[in-house]
Structure 1
């Protein structure tokens, strides 16, 4: 038999950020390893990134690492945020394919074999799209739908609706992601930006197995702003149009006043209309300055060239 045609045992890397997830870790490893061990002709590793946890998360991860050679623990020096932790895990992953995964088990591990099946068909990216969002509150569903619509309307890089970080990416995609130098990282946008041959499957997302979400309303708002300003300049460009429209209106209004004065004489303009115009223009200018400030702030942070994350220690096959 030709050696080139021999079956090659491929390796899957599951990348999981952890931040104060002690309540779910035991159940996580039981659920995930039972699925991964059942995969045929596939080796695997579980890259666990401790993102500055203050509970017993790190201790429990180290215990899992000690008893399972497939577990690799990347301990960050502090809490850098989920996007940075996800980047650290992707950088550390050695598999032929990488699957970002949440520790809360809202994404069922049983979906992983379906992702691998489509990957074996030749796709570089296999998206896991939520068939419905019944586990989310009405407010979260509404704001998520609004975010996707607004982002895709103003951005040059389209993000698939209802597709989170849960997906499979081939080694080619991972190497492309590692070339992107951004410090402020919006991973859903970066995943979409690199492209490659993509397909998707649908699944039903579950409720959290244990613990509480780490994303408050304020964090979600800032996360949305990060996404809206990361992949397009339309929020800046729109103020050119607003300024042009306002100037055009002012010129037309000036012509109207001139004609009215010539035809009807001079009268005393209303105080209310003046105050309304001043407040409107002042507010519009402040909003425009705020939008510019968002972009200038991103330039400022990127110009520092700080690393996305700092690793304190790696535990596992290459660590202690």
Structure 2
């Protein structure tokens, strides 16, 4: 948690994790400011630099000097988007609601007005649900579609909405509940859903990335999916158990076939290919099962070290005046 002195609390805070967003940050802030000026509530924005290798923090500093609505924070190194987002949420001082959005302009800031309009009494979360993913490849759209459907089926009593990223508006009550969850392996989409509370969706069309390239390649996305699955279900371990049981049953049946075949027809010399196939199959099952156990064991190891989620290098609060 931050040691920042508490600034004057706005009604709404926008949290924006950033990594190498120098080329889009100025345009993003201009569009964000224009939207927030029409909402009619006091607001500020927390930009979190997740150890960028470009001039992202310098651009943040310029924005902070020119606009009293801007708060900035810089982490001591790159901790990953989920941790940077957590840092921004920790620094949020909003009394009513907190908006989470990326700075790459794929999630249009103009949709925030729709989120606020749907943020009525009795609703704690308004999540932006993608109606279209303009600019994404067919492979990425298909894999994303499959991932959200798999997570919806595997999550243990956690209703994770499909086609929904981090872009959302949550109440102060929901944020306070969320900040109690301090695990290191953070799958924020799942954590947002885990805390519960009433939620509604707002549909929108996702735009192409405004500049640069995403730091998420297919390997990163695979690891991200693995993180989500192992964070919210032990289903892979159950599959390994059932698979081991199935292999055992098949082995008994196959063993019985060999015994009866030998009694009835003698014992011809077994074939080398069939023997190697059985050995390699069983070896693959065992290694896969050990790998699954290792994934969960590694997460236990990381959690027991009890290190802080992140370390702040710099932090400057906003200078808003709620009476203005």
What TM-score do you get using the length of structure 1 for normalisation? 0.93
Match of 2:134 in 1: 134
- Whether contact under 8 Å (1:184, 1:308) holds in the other structure is no
Measured against aligned partners, the alpha-carbon deviations of 1:235-260 in whole angstroms (never above 9, x if no partner) come to 01111111111111111122222222
Match of 2:109 in 1: 109
Shift of 1:67: 1.3
Aligned ranges 1:299-318 → 2 under 5 Å: 299-317=300-318
- Whether contact under 8 Å (1:154, 1:235) holds in the other structure is no
- The one of the two structures with greater contact order (alpha-carbon pairs below 8 A, sep at least 6) is 2
Structure 2 unaligned spans of 5+: 1-8, 320-324
> Do residues 181 (structure 1) and 187 (structure 2) align?
no
Runs of 4+ in 1 over 2 A off after TM superposition: 149-155
Question: Is the partner of 1:312 in helix, strand or coil?
Answer: strand
Could you tell me how far apart the structure 1 residues matched to 2:278 and 2:192 are? 44
Measured against aligned partners, the alpha-carbon deviations of 1:82-141 in whole angstroms (never above 9, x if no partner) come to 000000001100112011111011111111111111112431001100001232111111
Shift of 1:312: 1.1
Shifted more, 193-202 versus 151-160: the winner is 151-160
- Whether contact under 8 Å (1:47, 1:93) holds in the other structure is yes
Aligned ranges 1:195-214 → 2 under 5 Å: 195-214=196-215
Could you tell me how far apart the structure 2 residues matched to 1:80 and 1:10 are? 28
Match of 1:245 in 2: 246
- Whether contact under 8 Å (1:13, 1:93) holds in the other structure is yes
Match of 1:71 in 2: 70
Match of 1:5 in 2: none
- Whether contact under 8 Å (2:28, 2:109) holds in the other structure is no
Alignment root-mean-square deviation, CA: 1.4
Question: Is the partner of 1:87 in helix, strand or coil?
Answer: helix
Size of the alignment, in residue pairs? 309
Could you tell me how far apart the structure 1 residues matched to 2:150 and 2:37 are? 41
Shift of 1:165: 0.2
- Whether contact under 8 Å (2:10, 2:44) holds in the other structure is no
Question: Is the partner of 2:110 in helix, strand or coil?
Answer: helix
Question: Is the partner of 1:105 in helix, strand or coil?
Answer: coil
- Whether contact under 8 Å (2:124, 2:171) holds in the other structure is yes
- Whether contact under 8 Å (1:62, 1:315) holds in the other structure is no
Shift of 1:10: 6.7
Could you tell me how far apart the structure 2 residues matched to 1:250 and 1:275 are? 14
Match of 2:14 in 1: 14
Measured against aligned partners, the alpha-carbon deviations of 1:174-197 in whole angstroms (never above 9, x if no partner) come to 000110120111100100111100
Match of 1:124 in 2: 124
Question: Is the partner of 2:310 in helix, strand or coil?
Answer: coil
- Whether contact under 8 Å (1:24, 1:209) holds in the other structure is yes
Match of 2:221 in 1: 220
- Whether contact under 8 Å (1:69, 1:316) holds in the other structure is no
Match of 1:3 in 2: none
Could you tell me how far apart the structure 2 residues matched to 1:197 and 1:10 are? 23
